[in-house]
Structure 1
Amino acid sequence: MSMSTHLPEPAVPKGPWSLFLDIDGTLLEHAAHPDAVVVSEELRMLLTQLEAQLDGALAFITGRPIAAVDHLFQPLRLRAAGLYGLEHRLARDGPVEAAVEPADIAALAKEIATELDNADVYIERKGPILAIHTRAAPHLLRRATRLVEQALDKLPAGYRVLAGNAGVELMPLEAAKGAAIRRFMQIPAFRGRRPVFLGDDTSDENGFEVVNELDGISVRIKPYGSTAAPFALAGVDAALAWLDGMSRRETVGTPAAMAK
């Protein structure tokens, strides 16, 4: 892991590349409540342009459910891994492989809501993932984390706790952004391309590690502390400016064209 104080900005990918994008804190500024973010028409146009330029090799890799992503970015229905890869849409406008909420997670959500009893804490039930957002009540982050960690003992094996910048999540072990990126890299639109992944939080680190293994470019947005990403961008505005610069480059050739 590198310390993130003076990481360089990402270089321009050489040859055919693919693009994986976290959403909150990367493309959109965080809000106190996940429903409070707004997608601009410019961002929709930028994503449409990049996806066309990359011959479809663009996917969201997010902790949000894909239904929530579609609602945000409508009418776009881009390729996506939702719930950290527990949901997938492998083709644009295609069907979503969904994940359901187990009864013990539903019960735990109610228990934690009663325990914290604070209107500024948002408890988000995302199928098998339980997310507690404390951005509007930062003083409760430690308590929320402790409650979730204690709950691990009562749940069946196979769950882990992921603490973030402004909240904590409980999720199945197989929920990992790196695994989602690997899955996309195996489908024809992405195969043979160099992966580029932009993310901003601890949940993105696993994705950075996989992209580094694949000789890709991993970029931490607004970094602090240590990160596996060798590149950084200062914040959402810098990330959007970098992506806009990429969209203005000449269209890169497909892997088949490059191999000739």
Structure 2
Amino acid sequence: MRIERPMTPNLPEGKWALFLDIDGTLLEHAAHPDSVSVSNELRQLMQTMERRLDGAVAFVTGRSVSAVDRLFDPLKMRVAGLYGLEHRLTSDGPVEAADEPADIAALADEVEAELGKGVYVERKGPVLALHTRAAPHLLARATVLVEKALDRLPRGYRVIPGNAGVELMPLEAAKGAAIRRFMEIPPFVGRRPVFLGDDTSDENGFETVNGEDGISIRIKPRGPTAARHVIADVTDAIAWLQANFGDPARQAGRDAAE
């Protein structure tokens, strides 16, 4: 049974492993994925959290690893990209990338021709994302197009509706599986997982973390969620991360100022 609990814990000192979605969790959504930017404060927080957790911090995101690197440049973090279809298991290690199949490329061309410029069609290797934030009236049509495509694509694809768009992806693209892969290797192994996300595609990750007696947190939930805790918005999510995993001296100074 999926439940909502309107409280977010202050975590005690311990061996934690932190997994983070990006869009809608660390950054506000934009009409186009390339329209967002990362502040120096967020980069500094990521570095601080990685240092305090001995490297047990990873992005688990629908973005590709290369897109994450461009966004957070010059930082290089551990990343599960494309919902776990791509990985960089160490910050300085190689990227296990995923190519775009020909049938997905053809479908992307068809959708662009059908929907025009109102919908941004993001090609992410084997994942096809249709962003309708700039044209919400086209969401229903975009969803129908990708659902109909399932009948002619090879078996093993699924459609995931989102807050402002829809995605088509292989069944093996699952954030929970990506989290489990990290949890089997140093420095994550033996730690208790924490996962923050904001969308339907994060629910699988929440369920995985719950099964490991971890902390699952959904940002600005819309309807039922498997997450056991909720946070109101991106600003509060950043504040929670700072309070629990950031620089204690900086947080103390902020509290005194308030």
Which TM-score band (shorter chain)?
A: over 0.9
Q: Which residue of 2 aligns with 1:55?
A: 54
1:209 to 1:14, Cα distance in 2 relative to 1, 3 A? farther
- Root-mean-square deviation (CA, aligned residues, Å) is 1.1
Q: Which residue of 2 aligns with 1:29?
A: 28
Structure 1 distance, partners of 2:126, 2:104, is: 7
Where do 5+ consecutive residues of structure 2 fail to align?
250-258
Deviations 1:9-54 (A, max 9, x none): 1331552101000000000000000000010000000000000000
Q: Name the SS of the counterpart of 1:29 in structure 2.
A: coil
Q: Which residue of 1 aligns with 2:99?
A: 100
Q: Which residue of 2 aligns with 1:138?
A: 136
Aligned counterparts, 1:1-260, within 5 A: 1-4=1-4, 7-117=6-116, 119-246=117-244, 247-249=246-248
Q: Name the SS of the counterpart of 2:118 in structure 1.
A: coil
Moved more, 149-158 or 239-248: 239-248
Amino acid at match of 2:40: E
Q: Name the SS of the counterpart of 2:50 in structure 1.
A: helix
The alignment covers a number of residue pairs equal to 248
TM-score between both structures, scaled by the size of structure 1 = 0.93
Q: Name the SS of the counterpart of 1:35 in structure 2.
A: helix
Does the Cα contact within 8 Å between 2:206 and 2:217 map onto a contact in 1? Answer: yes
Q: Name the SS of the counterpart of 1:184 in structure 2.
A: helix
Q: Which residue of 2 aligns with 1:255?
A: none
Does the Cα contact within 8 Å between 2:21 and 2:197 map onto a contact in 1? Answer: yes
Shift of 1:224: 2.0
Structure 1 distance, partners of 2:12, 2:119, is: 40
Please identify runs of 4+ aligned residues in structure 1 that moved more than 2 A.
1-4
Structure 2 distance, partners of 1:224, 1:120, is: 24
Does the Cα contact within 8 Å between 2:3 and 2:227 map onto a contact in 1? Answer: no
Where do 5+ consecutive residues of structure 1 fail to align?
251-260
Shift of 1:231: 0.4
Does the Cα contact within 8 Å between 1:3 and 1:225 map onto a contact in 2? Answer: no
Structure 2 distance, partners of 1:22, 1:156, is: 28
Structure 2 distance, partners of 1:53, 1:14, is: 11
Does the Cα contact within 8 Å between 1:10 and 1:232 map onto a contact in 2? Answer: no
Shift of 1:7: 1.8
Deviations 1:211-257 (A, max 9, x none): 0001100000011200000101110000000011111349xxxxxxx
Structure 2 distance, partners of 1:10, 1:38, is: 28
Does the Cα contact within 8 Å between 1:10 and 1:219 map onto a contact in 2? Answer: no
